[in-house]
Structure 1
Amino acid sequence: MTVLGNCLIVLLIRLDSRLHTPMYFFLTNLSLVDVSYAISIVPQLLAHFLAEHKAIPFRSCAAQLFFSLALGGIEFVLLAGMAYDRYVAVCDPLRYSAIMHRVLCARLAIISWVSGSINSFMHTTITFQLPVCTNKFIDHISCEILAVVRLACMDTSSNEVTIMVSSILLLMTHFCLVLLSYIWIISTILKIQSTEGRKKAFHTCASHLTVVALCYGTTIFTYIQPHSGPSVLREKLISVFYVIVMPLLNPMIYSLRNKEVKGAWHKLLGKFSG
């Protein structure tokens, strides 16, 4: 369902010329991230539900950790880019086409994919250089970084500090950019005189704001304080939500709450039925 839903969103955007805008360019990238997330983790997770011997090869675990960290980082940067797009659309609509041109959108997308991959490569390399105890197992639903670090037969406080610092730099920096964008957006919306105009302006941001709240909220809760709370069980529950539920919800959020997407669906279904 996750793969089907996100692939349909990408296909719909490609087929409908009305959706060839910066917002849907970023949504295409977000859908590709969600599909990749599901493919990199869920098949192995399902296999472990059925297998009696629940083991994962060293290289497969490293690959899974790399892709999960990279895709998570890419998503954070993409959501910041989408927030900037919504800021320009609401706060400077007359210059929207001139500001959000194709080159800028492509650069923002490239920055997101490159920065997420570099951050992930650094963490994966550091994590898998730790000496691992042979009598321990990964107490998690996947090769998640905190679960793998806990396998080490040494003091991992420096690794946890590195995770925290990286999370602050990659996650909180972009979260602050998103927050700043929405402060300006809300300020602009409140200045609109007509109630209908305010509703229309807010509706253009509603889907993105919902995804931002779910994505950043769960990740901040997990990574900013690795030692806090009922750690392992909480991490598992949040991971299930983030790895399985979020990629499934994203296309639904953008489909159900967006008039342009719903209009494109009706147009596409009309062609097939006709």
Structure 2
Amino acid sequence: MIDLAHQPRYAGKVAFVTGAGSGIGRATALAFAREGASVVVVDIAEPANRETARLVEQLGARALAASCDVSNGDAVRGALDEAMRTFGRLDFAFNNAGIEQPATSLADLSEEVWDRIIRVNLRSVFVCMKYQIPLMVQGGGGAIVNTSSGAGVLAIQGQSSYCASKFGVTSISKVAALEYAKSKVRINAVCPGIIDTEMIERYTQGTPEGRARVIAQEPIGRMGKAEEIAATVLWLCSDEAAFVTGHAMVVDGGQTAGI
């Protein structure tokens, strides 16, 4: 439950979180809830999304679960319409939904995989912002955070489509930030490093050797936690970050410090 002795930062506010069924998305939805926000949780995986909504409500916050393919403009607009009917406003958006690419050199990568990665990771951010921004402008302002990646600032072999999608997220976040700064809509990207989530579990095949291999890439000597990215997102949405827009904030344990 929300600690009433703690004055929540986001009481009366509404957050829209995609990819909320697990990992960083779920951790961020719960972080918003702990700070008093109502949370629209969005994921194509309905059972996992409903569970996130249940956990939000267990914390004492209001939740709306929307099953949605976030690369589909009509579906995103429908979810946002439902959010406005339910809560009447939109203050924050965390456009986080994404998928990984199997390690494949560019010439061996299928066109189908390329298209799917770009659609889910990059098109979804465009579509979400396209329909979120007018609602925020209408409401007097807001804050959007898009999930890029360490792969959005650093090229990684075998990850051409994933890097392209995440570099794209970094770029579109910066462009949109410039376009809507005067409308009081702040837009930033968060660039996680290796975070201990289901996605990394799949990437490492869940083996101790696989986990050790990716941990070896982290100067800090461990994987990050989903809650650490959530804390970054909430700060970027806060009044303390009121002068921060168009920024790609790398949270990666030092992995890209040498570039």
Compute the TM-score of the two structures, normalised by the length of structure 2.
0.30
Bigger share in strand: 2
- Work out which structure has the larger RCO, using CA pairs closer than 8 Å and 6 or more positions apart in sequence: 1
| Higher gyration radius (CA) | 1
Compute the TM-score of the two structures, normalised by the length of structure 1.
0.29
Bigger share in helix: 1
